[in-house]
Amino acid sequence: MSRALVPGSFDPIHNGHLDVISRVATQFDEVIVTVVVNPNKSGLFTVDERVEMLAQATTHLQGVRVATWQGLLVDFASESGATAIVKGLRNAADFDYEVQMAQMNRRLTGVDTVFLGTDPVHSSLSSSLIKEIARLGGDVTTMVPAAVHDRLLARLAELS
């Protein structure tokens, strides 16, 4: 059985993330979408809220489950039996950042990183940009799943 991790902060999950997860699900028997906990970052949503939104957004995908991890991702890959870490790339800047991490992950545990080019339709999406657009009253309806959209607007309303 082939197993891959798709890690990220997913704060919040957007349609670019979903595109990558959906495509990875066709290539591996099991996909573990992993909310990586970074104690140095505070998100708009709690880790539990992100897990819940990811679970809702991926319920239609067979072989996909959601987990969290704090620490070295390669340790989770080894612990879970994953043979690959899959990262979606939007542009060359993403590649420059991710390739160094991929090389170090391989050095540490031998786990390979697979890069998947983002569908150009979603290449401008980032969670931070979506939050900023929504915070300023812009329409992000086509950028995030409907359930995420509602939660995003509600959270921003709570904070204003």
Mind telling me the catalytic residues?
17, 41, 90, 127
Backbone φ/ψ region at 82: left (φ over 0), alpha (ψ -120 to 50), beta: beta
18 is in an annotated binding site: no
80 is in an annotated binding site: no
CB 32 within 8 A of CB 84: no
Q: 66 forms bridges with which residues in the sheet? A: 33
126 is in an annotated binding site: yes
Q: 115 forms bridges with which residues in the sheet? A: 87
Distance of CA 141 to the CA centre of its chain: 19
Residues 6+ apart with CB under 8 A from 41: 9
125 is in an annotated binding site: yes
122 is in an annotated binding site: yes
60 is in an annotated binding site: no
87 is in an annotated binding site: yes
131 is in an annotated binding site: no
98 is in an annotated binding site: yes
Instruction: Output the CA torsion sign for 22, 23, 25, 31.
Output: negative
Q: Which residues are annotated as a binding site?
A: 9-10, 17, 41, 73, 87-90, 98, 122-128
Q: Which residues are annotated as a binding site for ATP?
A: 9-10, 17, 88-90, 98, 122-128
Q: Which residues are annotated as a binding site for substrate?
A: 9, 41, 73, 87
